[in-house]
Amino acid sequence: MVYDWFNRGSVPPETPADPPVDPEVQPDQSSAPQPSAPEPSETQPAEVQPSEPQSSESEDDSLEWARQAYARLKAQKAQAAEAAKTVQDDSTSEQNVVVPPVMEPPAVVPAAVVPSVVSPSEGPPALEAPSVEPAEPAPVVEPPASPATTPSPPAPALSFLEQAAAQRDQRQQELEQPAEPEPVPVVPATAQDAPKIEEDEPRLGDFDDAFTWSAEVLAAQGRSAEQVTLEEIDWLGRLRQGLEKTRQGFVTGLLENLGDDPLTPEVLDDLESLLLRADAGVQATDQVLDALRQRMNEQVVDPSEGIRFLKEQLRDLLDEPIQSSAVEVLAPQRDRLNVWLLVGVNGVGKTTTLGKLANLAVRSGYSALIAAADTFRAAAVQQVQVWGDRSDVPVVANPSANADPAAVVFDAIGAARSKGTDLVLVDTAGRLQTKHNLMEELEKIRRVVDRLAPEAHVESLLVLDASQGQNGLKQAMAFARAAGLTGVVITKLDGTARGGVALAVASEAKLPIRFIGAGEGIRDLRPFNSFEFVEALLASR
């Protein structure tokens, strides 16, 4: 099933009607009312403002909601497995049908001519029986007696040198023999026709703390149990796991400082230190702390209220550049050509991010094409082709060494326009923000795109390594001036404790975060959602 990640909030997925309920997941079926399925509507539902996750008072309700969502997903999984089994059985039965041989009709034998009846008086002449002479017995031929064989005397034992020479001759004969090809294994037709299943496909795990947390985050965004998908549950689990290192240093220290007492100036000083160590940046830290101090001056703030207000401030800070761009979620437009340029320094994961974006676009129902414009790095074109094969996305490349990147982009746009492709992803060479000649090369690529496809919607996305911290912020500032950036893709959040760099990019560089990567898998990159990011960053369990 195609799940459009670019429009996940406006297009609810299709769900089967009246799914069976697992007794292990929902034991009290009579007491818990089942929510009615939403009626289909042609208009998109109104956006629902995300609320805070359920408090301790409504913990039972949120747990029951998670049980309903889990039961529904489990029913969908069982139905999909049953449908796949039925299709496989049908294909197997068609292959095993035995066609009976066609029986030829028996040959028609003409009726025998009945002889005329002869009267007894005219009886037929008596036939004389021929005399049979006894056959003479065949002479017995005795086999010639074979001469008695005398046993040959035993061969004399070979000496050590003779044995070595014989073994050497045998090995030489084996080496001179032509190599025989290995037999080709016979694969059944059912195994050949079976669809390829990726190892990274989302799977429904146990009803554990990770599932209940993911369901709680979705419920806080106004989603019903019928709208929860396995894709979203799987991604939230990956995001929460990817931010584990940042959360361990940030949340642990924050909860230890808060305790059960109201917020104090000393607690805010400790919070300032935690934010700076997470590379949130000075400007973002001051903005958050000023809002907290103002709230403390107005009223007494208990720890739970302080956490809630902190999450609200972080979300507002991350959403500010997104709202300024007037584009809530960056998605390819169906009615025009979309060209996304991926830029950045060396080693931040531009090619890997490009492959993941291609896979995300294909899974969301868009057609994509890759332009391998990184013509200077060794094996860069081959790496792009591998990513294209994994997602079944065509790649336009120039195999010659040090080819002109602008020429590759020119060919890619021509191919995309002839095929009606929705999205063209351009992989560029890594470059430092201080290399002016390489920055001019980016401007040349942009001029080629504008001249060849003036109607195209062009995005210039900076790929930023989260582990670089404040150095990544400097890169964003320099690239924003030279390359006309329109967004940022933050990668490698799972390998660093500096996940707060997202706050610095949003507050100081004023660039909207469009995608985040929280793992090495092909499905570990998704559109950015500030609510889910903050909840995963400050998850207390």
Tell me how far apart the alpha carbons of residues 397 and 373 are, in angstroms, rounded to a whole number.
Answer: 7
Per-residue pLDDT at 353: 94
Q: What is the pLDDT of residues 360-369, one digit of tens each?
A: 999 999 999 9
Is the pLDDT higher at 107 or at 177? 177
| Nearest Cα to Cα of residue 489 among 476, 508, 498 | 476
Best-predicted range by mean pLDDT among 90-94, 141-145, 304-308? 304-308
Per-residue pLDDT averaged across 227-239, rounded?
88
Tell me how far apart the alpha carbons of residues 264 and 96 are, in angstroms, rounded to a whole number.
Answer: 77
Range of weakest confidence among 381-390, 481-490, 529-538: 481-490
Whether the predicted pLDDT of 396 surpasses 80: yes
What is the residue type of 75? Answer: A
Is the pLDDT higher at 103 or at 284? 284
Per-residue pLDDT at 38: 42
Q: What is the pLDDT of residues 160-184, one digit of tens each?
A: 788 888 888 888 887 776 655 555 4
Tell me the CATH number for domain 247-324. Answer: 1.20.120.140
Tell me how far apart the alpha carbons of residues 172 and 178 are, in angstroms, rounded to a whole number.
Answer: 12
Confidence of residue 483 (pLDDT cuts 50, 70, 90): confident
Per-residue pLDDT averaged across 377-405, rounded?
89
Cβ-in-10-Å burial (0-12, 13-18, 19+) of 103 comes to exposed
Whether the predicted pLDDT of 339 surpasses 90: yes
Per-residue pLDDT at 9: 59
Per-residue pLDDT at 430: 82
Confidence of residue 118 (pLDDT cuts 50, 70, 90): very low
Per-residue pLDDT at 58: 62
Share of the chain above pLDDT 70, in %: 72
Per-residue pLDDT at 318: 94
| Nearest Cα to Cα of residue 373 among 445, 440, 443, 439 | 445
Tell me how far apart the alpha carbons of residues 132 and 495 are, in angstroms, rounded to a whole number.
Answer: 108
Per-residue pLDDT at 441: 84
> What are φ and ψ of residue 525, in 5° steps?
-140, 125
CATH architecture of the domain with range 338-528:
3-Layer(aba) Sandwich (3.40)
Q: What is the pLDDT of residues 500-530, one digit of tens each?
A: 889 999 998 899 999 999 888 898 999 999 9
| Nearest Cα to Cα of residue 514 among 335, 287, 332 | 332
Whether the predicted pLDDT of 431 surpasses 70: yes
Confidence of residue 188 (pLDDT cuts 50, 70, 90): very low
Q: Are 498 and 466 in contact (CB under 8 A)?
A: yes
Whether the predicted pLDDT of 140 surpasses 60: no
Tell me how far apart the alpha carbons of residues 59 and 212 are, in angstroms, rounded to a whole number.
Answer: 11
Best-predicted range by mean pLDDT among 76-85, 132-141, 222-231? 222-231
Confidence of residue 156 (pLDDT cuts 50, 70, 90): low
Per-residue pLDDT at 5: 81
Query: What contacts 444, CB < 8 A, 6 or more positions away?
Result: 406
Per-residue pLDDT averaged across 308-323, rounded?
93
Q: What is the pLDDT of residues 31-83, one digit of tens each?
A: 344 444 444 444 344 444 565 554 555 667 778 888 888 888 888 788 877 78
Give how far Cα 205 sits from Cα of 53, 77, 131, 209, 431, Å: 22, 11, 97, 11, 42
Whether the predicted pLDDT of 281 surpasses 80: yes
Q: Are 322 and 531 in contact (CB under 8 A)?
A: no
> Does 338-528 match 247-324 at the fold level?
no
Dihedral-angle region of residue 508 (phi above 0 means left; psi in -120 to 50 means alpha; beta otherwise): alpha
Tokens of 116: 């005329």
Per-residue pLDDT averaged across 469-474, rounded?
81
Q: Are 395 and 385 in contact (CB under 8 A)?
A: yes
Whether the predicted pLDDT of 125 surpasses 70: no
Cβ-in-10-Å burial (0-12, 13-18, 19+) of 167 comes to exposed
Per-residue pLDDT averaged across 376-389, rounded?
90
Q: Strand 513-517 vs strand 395-396: parallel, antiparallel, or unpaired?
A: unpaired
Could you give the angle at the alpha carbon of 540 between the alpha carbons of 284 and 5, nearest 5°? Answer: 70
Give how far Cα 69 sits from Cα of 25, 114, 224, Å: 10, 90, 8
Tokens of 384: 């792009």
Confidence of residue 472 (pLDDT cuts 50, 70, 90): confident
- Per domain, the residue ranges of the chain are 13-23+62-78+201-242, 247-324, 338-528
Whether the predicted pLDDT of 249 surpasses 80: no
Per-residue pLDDT at 1: 53
Whether the predicted pLDDT of 470 surpasses 50: yes
Per-residue pLDDT at 317: 94
Spell out a b/e string for 297-318, using b for 16 or more CB atoms within 10 Å of the CB, else e.
eeeebebeebbebbbebbbebb
| Nearest Cα to Cα of residue 388 among 349, 419, 427 | 427
- Three-state SS annotation for 421-447: CCEEEEECCCCCCCCHHHHHHHHHHHH
Give how far Cα 191 sits from Cα of 84, 196, 201, Å: 14, 10, 19
Q: Are 204 and 80 in contact (CB under 8 A)?
A: no
DSSP for 209-246 reads HHHHHHHHHHHHTT--GGG--HHHHHHHHHHHHHTHHH
